[in-house]
Amino acid sequence: MNHKTQKLAIRLLKRDVRPEDTVRDGLDIRAWESIPDARIALGTIGGNAAQWTRFLELSDDEKARLKNRLPYAVVFVPALRRWFAVTFGFAHVKLDSTKFEEGFGLRVVLNSVDPEQLRSTDLRTPDENTISRRSQASRGSRQEAFSIDTERDIVQGLAGLPKDPKFASRVAGADALVMHKKMDLRSLPDTCASAYRMSRRSDYKRSFAWIDHVRHVRSKELIPKLETKLAQQLNRALKNGNPGDLALARPAIYDPMNMELIQYRGFRGTGHYADLEIRDYLAAMQRAGLTTYDPLHLRNHKIHEVDDSGRDVGDNWRILDSLVFETRHKGKLYTLSAGRWYEIDKTLASSVKAFFTRIRPFSMPSAHSSETEVAYNNRLKETRTDLLCLDRKLVKPSDATSPIEICDFLTKNRELIHVKDRTSSSRLSHLFNQGTVSGRVLIADPDSRDEVRRKIGEVEKETGLRGFARLVPSATRPFDPRKFTVVYAVLGTRPTARLPFFSLVALRQAVTDLRARGYQCAFAWVYKQ
């Protein structure tokens, strides 16, 4: 029989979910004789003129000519004691996505795809500034072509050519599986069964084992349990004033030059603060008479950027989107970042933390409890003669679109110290990136070194300090990174160092990159007493 290639979109119903539980109101399901025990729902979407017809000021007759009704169908197929929904047209908009297995299509693709014939990846890099991106190749390629960060990226979707062309000619998957296959209608149950068996395999571990490093948690059953743990920790902190490992972080990259103040709202909170601090949030609730923390507060409490009169001048977001928290549940590690929960592989978590403990410690003066990064740098600038402050002394590399800071402080021992406040992981990501960019520029851009020397000379003239400019070789002299140490100094409210998981990953990547270039690296925890 000469079968034609058919495009199928297949979803797997959760266990104990019936087909009639998955459809939205108004969609009727009926028995379908074409496949034994199968069911089908048919309909059309649309029937109205597009909104742009109003802009064109078309007449009713003209609009009537442009009306379009889009047909759709969803077939519910039983196979291997499970139900599958196979959709055609726009039928997916008529389905309740919470009733289907998450990542079913992705698991099928990971196990079936040829790792050297990938065509497209949908990736998310979780952080306080979460980045989502789609990369596509004009021909089948290995995963290295898609610049996947195997310790941080979450694969949301994948497309490519299968190893076995009999399984399908093309596959793509996220929650749903999209496959192109030569087949006829009668083989649909077998095709669903084959896809299900493929989803249960572990072939992916040969080429995609890293996929299990970080998993986005989307379970409607698990998330409330994790949020309850978070609320319990906040409840304890509210009562004893000790935030423990809780922290607040901006959910997006911020502009440090705007310097908006922070106000906590949703519970008759008063006052405003210089920056995000978990202690300030707790104190604001205590002053408002709040004695018990409820999980509902995670969404009802808001953070607003305000001026010194308390008027909104910037963004606002839920407190849940700023909380940074890690917890264990049934032996697994979960971390909250930018309002999303992630499950972290035990081996990865252990190796990242072990790497952190092996970074050489560096001593920096303690910070005052209320000091921001800027205030801390300014105080050291005025009181320490062994540190030359280059904070906000920007240098424009020849191959960059924007100027950079070489460091916040330079020492006579050629230590390049970069300082940031731990209260935001987005700041920490910026900190670690700042160190690697600075290290690269000093090596690769000799003209920038002359600019750095000029900036140092200006500061020496302002402060009366001497002997720092000679530490950085001029453009005509060789630069030896082995003589320099890049120091990451982080301000935190705990007596001992502790960073969020994704910040630890970013730090490991930065240190590894700098060491490969020849630099020494060190880490300083600055306790805000």
Split at pLDDT 50, 70, 90, the class of 252 is low
By the 10 Å C-beta count (0-12 exposed, 13-18 middle, 19+ buried), 476 is classed as exposed
Bridge pairing between strands 38-46 and 131-141:
unpaired
Least confident of 133-137, 261-265, 384-388, 437-441: 133-137
> What is the pLDDT at residue 155?
85
24 token code pair: 């939205």
CB distance 124 to 421 below 8 Å: no
> What is the pLDDT at residue 427?
66
Alpha helices in 384-469 (DSSP H): 425-444, 446-463
Share of the chain above pLDDT 70, in %: 96
> What is the pLDDT at residue 108?
97
CB burial of 290-324 (b: ≥16 within 10 Å; e: otherwise) equals beebebebbeebbbbbbeeeeeeeeeebbbbbbbb
Alpha helices in 301-345 (DSSP H): none
Number of Cβ within a 10 Å radius of residue 265 = 18
> What is the pLDDT at residue 2?
59
Q: Which of 11, 160, 36 is nearest to 87 (CA)?
A: 11
Rounded to whole angstroms, the Cα distance separating 523 from 486 reads 9
Q: In this structure, what are the phi and psi dihedrals at residue 379, rounded to the nearest 5 degrees?
A: -65, -45
Compute the average pLDDT of residues 345-360.
Answer: 93
**239-249 pLDDT, tens per residue?**
988 787 788 87
Highest mean pLDDT among 146-160, 258-272, 395-409, 438-452: 438-452
Compute the average pLDDT of residues 209-236.
Answer: 92
SS3 137: strand
Least confident of 222-231, 287-296, 409-418, 498-507: 498-507
> What is the pLDDT at residue 366?
93
> What is the pLDDT at residue 340?
87
Rounded to whole angstroms, the Cα distance separating 388 from 528 reads 22
Split at pLDDT 50, 70, 90, the class of 257 is very low
Distances (CA, A) of 210 to 58, 213, 264: 55, 5, 39
Residue 480 has pLDDT above 80, yes or no: yes
Compute the average pLDDT of residues 395-418.
Answer: 89
pTM for the full model? 0.74
CB burial of 372-397 (b: ≥16 within 10 Å; e: otherwise) equals bbbebbeebbeeeeebbbbbebebeb
Residue 278 has pLDDT above 50, yes or no: yes
